[in-house]
Homo-oligomer: A and B are copies of this chain.
Amino acid sequence: MQSEITREFIDQIEDAIERRDTEFILSNMEEMYAVDITTVLYELNTEQSKYVMDVLPSDVGAQILSDLDSDVRTNFLKNFTTEEIARYINEMDSDDAVDLLNEQPVQRKEEIIALLEDQEHVADIIDLLHYDEDCAGGLMAKELIKVNINWRVGQCIEEIRRQAEDVEKVYAIYVVDDRDKLVGRLGMKTLILTNDNTPISEVYEPDVISIESYKDEQEVATVMQKYDLDAIPVVNIQGRLLGRITIDDVIDVIQEQAELSRQLMTGITENIEEDDSVFRLSRARLPWLMVGMVGGLLGARFIGLFEGDIAIIPALAMFTPLITATGGNVGIQSSSIIIQTLANKTIMFDNFTSRIIKVLLVAIINGLVMSGLVLGFNVLFGVELTLSIVVAVALFSVVLLSSFMGTVTPMILDKYGVNPAVAAGPFITTANDLLGLGVYFMVAHMLLTL
């Protein structure tokens, strides 16, 4: 049952916890989806949440634990004994079990593994512990249905019956040869529509997209998305079937990637969330603020060099915010467009020169429009003509320069394997600010000393 979780419901649950009314909690929660129960737990304190977990059946608890954010889970599990954790892990898919175990201190991890019951499950988990979190091997689960190419359809159905308990959702049936090498797949539809006596070799689909276990999670996401797959088999370098990755895990990767890019753009160095500690939030934000600060101080020194010009026309200083803001905006727009292109990779053999020419054309149009407007505005409002011209020329130069920098920097970063979203972050923004100031005062100096 999909549930709308209300403040009232939370209050009722809290009351029930208070009076240790396990029956009320069970009868109200056992029909709920695990993910909705998780939402409720987020509203309770640790002690209350632990109580609810103790009341719920361990398969539900296992799902809840799988749903939790890694940080939250690590903290929450400090309140559980190793026996309790082992009981949950017995109910988890191997990929979720490994994620949880990897968050535990080494000794505790060993203790929990020693307490697990099902030896096949333990073997799967130990196998998965070898893989790096960020690669295909680290995303995969061992639970899958595989059949031998020499079997018949009837045997295949028997095998599904045998494995059905472990495999929550059958996306596809993988066909392997005698040496466990992946040779194809069998659709559920084919299985349903085919006679039990048909040899699998006659009906299987030999064309199957797989991914090697060492490939990066980003590549897994790209391949699954490109070919619209809901599950992808993972193989080793010899093509032996190791596990499978399902699309829900990959959606998480896609979203994390989007969040990471945004954080890079906004200059936050760690993967933080609003409910992290004040200290952690400060620490994650300070480094990039420092970069901006040093830039600002350098800017101050730089403006100091032109104190002579400012003394001649004090109003020169008035327009520095206009210049730096425009440079920043143009730079970030340019970066955003090129970052998007680099992320999509639809255009492959693109011509660098023609791309830059286009960027500069757009910059010239926008620069002319803005300079013209600023010139008109200044003349209209009685700003001195020389100063007005200085500002307009400087603005135009800044738009051109920022467009160029904003486009080229992400391309260079991407070429050297750095996430191009960094270019939209404070480091480059600060550099752009300084460049803008430089151009402004240089143009001003030149025109004023003519």
Contacts and interface: CB of A to CB of B under 8 A. Distances in A.
Interface of A: 1-2, 5, 7, 10, 33, 35, 39, 42-43, 69, 157, 160-161, 164, 169-171, 187-189, 191-193, 207, 209, 223, 225-228, 230, 247-248, 251, 254-255, 258-259, 261-263, 265-268, 272-275, 278-279, 281-282, 285-286, 288-290, 292-293, 295-297, 299-301, 303-304, 307, 310-311, 314-315, 317-326, 328-330, 332-333, 335-341, 346-349, 355, 358, 361-362, 365-366, 369-370, 373-374, 377, 381, 424, 426, 429-430, 433, 437
Interface core residue of A42, A278, A424 (most chain B CB under 10 Å): A278
B192 A373 contact: no
Nearest to A322: B296
Contacts of A272: 337
18 contacts: A43-B348, A164-B189, A188-B188, A225-B251, A266-B336, A273-B340, A273-B341, A278-B361, A282-B365, A286-B366, A295-B321, A299-B321, A300-B318, A301-B318, A304-B315, A321-B433, A324-B325, A325-B429
Nearest to A311: B314
Contacts of A335: 266
A205 to B, nearest CB: 12
Contacts of A295: 321-322, 325
A157 to B, nearest CB: 6
A368 to B, nearest CB: 10
B321 A266 contact: no
Given A193-B160, A285-B366, A329-B267, A293 B322 contact: yes
Contacts of A336: 262-263, 265-266, 268
A382 to B, nearest CB: 11
Given A266-B333, A275-B341, A300-B319, 13 more contacts: A5-B348, A39-B346, A169-B189, A247-B247, A262-B336, A278-B358, A282-B362, A289-B370, A296-B323, A296-B326, A321-B433, A324-B325, A329-B426
A424 B329 CA distance: 12
Nearest to A262: B336
Contact of A251 (B251, B262, B321, B381): B251
A266 B424 contact: yes
B292 A326 contact: yes
Contact of A337 (B164, B187, B274, B429): B274
A338 to B, nearest CB: 7
B332 A42 contact: no
Taking each of A161, A230, A262, A301, which has the highest tally of chain B beta carbons within 10 Å of its own beta carbon?
A262
A103 B149 CA distance: 46
A5 B345 CA distance: 13
Contacts of A2: 209, 223, 227
Contacts of A290: 370, 373
A322 to B, nearest CB: 3
A333 to B, nearest CB: 5
Contacts of A226: 35
Given A191-B192, A314-B310, A321 B286 contact: no
A329 to B, nearest CB: 4
A267 B254 CA distance: 23
A227 B300 contact: no
A272 B433 CA distance: 25
Contacts of A362: 278, 281-282, 285
Contacts of A346: 39, 42, 69
